Amino acid sequence: MKIAVVGITGMVGQVVLEVLKELKFPVTELIPVASERSLGKSISWDGQSIPVKSMQEAIDARPQIAIFSAGGGTSLEWAPKFAEVGCFVVDNSSAWRMDANIPLIVPEINIHTVTKDTKIIANPNCSTIQMVMVLNPLHQKYKINRLVISTYQSFTGTGMKAVKQYNSEKNGEPVEEPRAYHHPIFENCIPQCDTFLDNGYTKEEMKLVNETKKILGDQSLKITSTAVRVPVHGGHSESVNVEFFNPFDLTELKDILNQSEGIIVQDNPTEFEYPTPLQSKNKNEVFVGRIRRDESKDNALNLWITADNLRKGAATNAVQIAHYLRRFF
């Protein structure tokens, strides 16, 4: 298949290339796309050196699927133009996620909502994806009433600017301006992911609220969140407190998670078996552990969830969607 990867020189774009190879996606022609400043560069793919193309050049090449990882503004401008020539667009930005006419897809949960007429498909926020992977089978069985979420998110989720800031601080070098974070990220935790809104929450925190409701198809869910940026390379972690309407048996609940696609349960704390972000690095699955009752509340549960934010949180999820789209050709 003829595949365009938009934003190919960025962190997620590079991981998309890795995942396409690992999941053996049948790419017959790769169209690497990046901003004007990257034109003239080349991408190594399958033993070839392929020149980076502009947006219009990519559209003129008529790809069947385009995976976008180039930011919301770029997606809003260009995704409809790719769609106009019959190309499916899988978009990693936040631009389309809350559009009522655009499906917000985690393949293990709601890929069935995508049809051959769905030309733009939104990839959810990285921290949302890993959480709903674990919550969805439990919601189906026990019906979630309320979520209290605390995230511990890798600075890699902010992109190359954050990686450069971290490395400069670690090496005692001047930080290039404008910096990714107002505060140091090396040896620090920053209780701010994205910008603040009028309600005192950040955009990242409200993504967890709104995207979870849309993906799980339940606007009645009560959700509150705090998102924290941490000096971790490996991936994102989340402490999630879940209150169900219905009682649950802990053994049965763990069995449900063990049998769910894309989830690995690591829950034997006496043997120090629980997920860590470093252990999840470069893996496509979502890991869950520290599964225990909340003894302060009826029908409540505590979970610890980790995943590679550049993999299942972005590139892997997008490529899985692209795999599904193959059936329409």
E strands within the chain?
Answer: 2-6, 29-33, 42-45, 48-51, 65-68, 88-91, 120-122, 144-154, 222-230, 236-244, 263-265, 286-293, 300-307
Over residues 166-195, the mean pLDDT reads 97
The string over 7-17, giving b where at least 16 C-beta atoms fall within 10 Å of a residue's C-beta and e elsewhere, is bbbbbbbbbbb
Phi, psi values for residue 77, rounded to 5°: -75, -40
pLDDT band (50, 70, 90) for residue 234: confident
Q: Dihedral sign for Cα 195, 197, 200, 201, please.
A: negative
Kindly report the CA angle at 192 between 294 and 77, in degrees rounded to 5? Answer: 115
CA distances from 39 to 9, 55, 76, 248 (A): 11, 10, 21, 56
Q: Dihedral sign for Cα 92, 97, 99, 105, please.
A: positive
Helix axes 126-142, 250-258, angle to 10 degrees: 130
pLDDT band (50, 70, 90) for residue 40: confident
Question: With 90 as the cut, is the pLDDT of residue 311 above it?
Answer: yes
Question: With 90 as the cut, is the pLDDT of residue 36 above it?
Answer: no
Non-local (6+) Cβ contacts of 180 within 8 A are 155, 158, 159, 161, 162, 164, 165
Q: pLDDT for 257-292, tens place per residue?
A: 999 999 999 999 999 999 999 999 999 999 999 999
- The distance from CA 127 to its chain's CA centroid, rounded to whole angstroms, is 6
Question: With 90 as the cut, is the pLDDT of residue 183 above it?
Answer: yes
Domain boundaries, the chain: 2-124+314-328, 127-309
pTM listed for this prediction: 0.96
Residue among 308, 294, 313 at smallest CA distance from 147: 294
Kindly report the CA angle at 13 between 155 and 239, in degrees rounded to 5? Answer: 35
CB 106 within 8 A of CB 133: yes
Q: SS3 for 64?
A: coil
| Residues written for the chain | 329
CB 114 within 8 A of CB 89: no
For 127-309, CATH number? 3.30.360.10
Kindly report the CA angle at 15 between 10 and 316, in degrees rounded to 5? Answer: 125
Look-up of token digits 């902010």: 158
How far apart are the C-alpha atoms of 62 and 321, rounded to whole Å? 19
Residue among 193, 219, 191, 189 at smallest CA distance from 206: 193
Domain 2-124+314-328: which topology?
Answer: Rossmann fold (3.40.50)
Write out the catalytic residue numbers. Answer: 126, 236
Over residues 78-88, the mean pLDDT reads 98
- Percent of the chain exceeding pLDDT 70 equals 100
Residue among 207, 77, 199, 200 at smallest CA distance from 149: 207
